[in-house]
Amino acid sequence: MNAISSVHAREIIDSRGNPTVEVDVVLADGTRGRAAVPSGASTGTREAVELRDGDPGRYHGKGVRRAVEAVNTEIAAALKGHDATDQAGADRVLIELDGTADKSRLGANATLGVSLALVRAAAGSAGQPLYRYLGGADATLLPMPLMNIVNGGAHADNPLDFQEFMIVPVGAGTFAEAVRMGSEVFHALRGALRAAGQNTNVGDEGGFAPDLRTAEEALTFVTEAIAATGYRPGADVAIALDPAASEFYQGGRYLHRDPGEHVAYLAGLVDAFPIVSIEDGVAQDDHAGWVALTRAIGGRCQLVGDDVFCTNEALLRQGIADGVGNAILIKVNQIGTLTETLATVGTARAAGYRVVMSHRSGETEDTTIADLAVATGCGQIKTGSLSRSDRTAKYNQLIRIEEELGERATLDPYLRVRV
Ligand SMILES: C=C(OP(=O)(O)O)C(=O)O
Ligand SMILES: [Mg+2]
């Protein structure tokens, strides 16, 4: 047995300049696994709890020393000697040690850092890349990337209500080609914004954050950038949205629209633009809106639940039973352990729901989600724009994985065939 010999956490800094947890797990054979924890801005209300110190004298209250301390004392003591290949057992120890339903005692940032560092150590000790250690020899499907090139909402200081406007290079034959196509459109968009007198500053996920007022304006810029690059909007490069509608849903209304009007508005956007996927088109608490949206356009558009499911298997099961959406966004820190994440992915696939592996708006150089996307064969990933190293780290890792898989690698065709 290759036992865990030490677990150690530290406070590091993320892409927004906020502190986050990084964990090192060292095994008896000397192998080290390391993982850093991401952090959201537009968080779902039912996410596992990210423990912050609340001490205004450090990092404006955002320090994570308490979570670090939990790893270095209680968690380290509980896991020392545990078999490194027993990921499910180790994650159970974390869940039981925390003892709450939402990981609020030790912090999901503490448990996730340990859980992912452990699997990295175990893969390293087995002499395998993470995607193969977890996914086996059949893990050869590369995810179609959903690349966020215009930022709004909680991720940028501009007037756009919708949070993310993404491009999907559905015409690409390989992942590397998808990245090239995305990069070309990203640069064409920069040129078009500049030519229109717009600023080309970027938001939290590295997409442009121009002073546009409406989703239609942003969608027009993106569609024209696709065409200006020489691609056919829809057939070569399609569009995906994450309005993150929970952020602008108040008093039962979506700004100036009631839920019925809002659903009709989204359906109209799908008619007018080459949109193949909408995430959180309606708010997490608008159950009737979710069902109405799914009935209205679920047959012709992927509808991804983020805030409404929070990577939580129980919330997903309820949503499946109720007809909420047809796909789920997977964010490892929304639930706080690898084992629970994989269980949610399994439940989604068994129900025929599509799965999109996702970063958070606050990220680090950690690339674990790239490997998880291939390991699970989930088929899609969203990990930001074609700039900023916290985002490109994941794209670049997927390029490496594709190269390593060689002839056996394929790029998920699901969104391609929908066009
Ligand atoms: C990535 C997202 O943003 P955040 O991490 O802020 O929740 C999202 O909403 O899908
Ligand atoms: Mg979202």
ipTM score of complex: 0.99
What tens digit of pLDDT does each residue of 141-160 get? 999 999 999 999 999 999 99
Choose which residue among 16, 37, 151, 163 to substitute to test ligand 1 binding: the one with the highest number of ligand atoms within 8 A of its C-beta.
163
Catalytic: which of 50, 164, 184, 331? 331
Closest ligand 1 atom, CA of 382?
A: 1
- Which residue, judged by its Cα, is nearest atom 4 of ligand 1? 40
Catalytic: which of 205, 247, 340, 363? 205
Closest ligand 1 atom, CA of 306?
A: 10
Cα 228 to ligand 2 centroid, rounded to whole Å: 28
Task: Give me the mean pLDDT over the 389-412 stretch.
Answer: 98
115 is in an annotated binding site: no
What tens digit of pLDDT does each residue of 68-93 get? 999 999 999 999 999 999 999 999 99
418 has a pLDDT exceeding 70: no
Is residue 331 among the annotated active site residues?
yes
> What percentage of the chain exceeds 90 in pLDDT?
99
What tens digit of pLDDT does each residue of 203-226 get? 999 999 999 999 999 999 999 999
pLDDT of residue 256: 87
407 is in an annotated binding site: no
Q: Which ligand is nearest to the CA of 148?
A: 1
Cα 279 to ligand 2 centroid, rounded to whole Å: 6
Closest ligand 1 atom, CA of 205?
A: 1
Q: Is 41 in the pocket of ligand 1 (CB under 6 A)?
A: yes
Cα 331 to ligand 2 centroid, rounded to whole Å: 9
331 is in an annotated binding site: yes
181 has a pLDDT exceeding 50: yes
397 is in an annotated binding site: no
Chain mean pLDDT for the chain: 97
Cα 306 to ligand 2 centroid, rounded to whole Å: 5
pLDDT of residue 419: 43
Three-state secondary structure readout of the chain: CCEEEEEEEEEEECCCCCEEEEEEEEECCCCEEEEECCECCCCCCCCCCCCCCCCCCCHHHCCCHHHHHHHHHHHHHHHCCCECCCHHHHHHHHHHHHCCCCCCCCCHHHHHHHHHHHHHHHHHHCCCCHHHHHHCCCCCEECEEEEEEEECHHHCCCCCCCCEEEEECCCCCCHHHHHHHHHHHHHHHHHHHHHCCCCCCECCCCCECCCCCCHHHHHHHHHHHHHHCCCCECCCEEEEEECCHHHHEECCEECCECHHHHHHHHHHHHHHCCEEEEECCCCCCCHHHHHHHHHHHCCCCEEEECCCCCCCHHHHHHHHHHCCCCEEEECHHHHCCHHHHHHHHHHHHHCCCEEEEECCCECCCCCHHHHHHHHHCCEEEECCCCCCHHHHHHHHHHHHHHHHHHHHCEECCHHHHHC
Task: Give me the mean pLDDT over the 172-178 stretch.
Answer: 98
What tens digit of pLDDT does each residue of 309-361 get? 999 999 999 999 999 999 999 999 999 999 999 999 999 999 999 999 999 99
Closest ligand 1 atom, CA of 279?
A: 10
Q: Is 31 in the pocket of ligand 1 (CB under 6 A)?
A: no
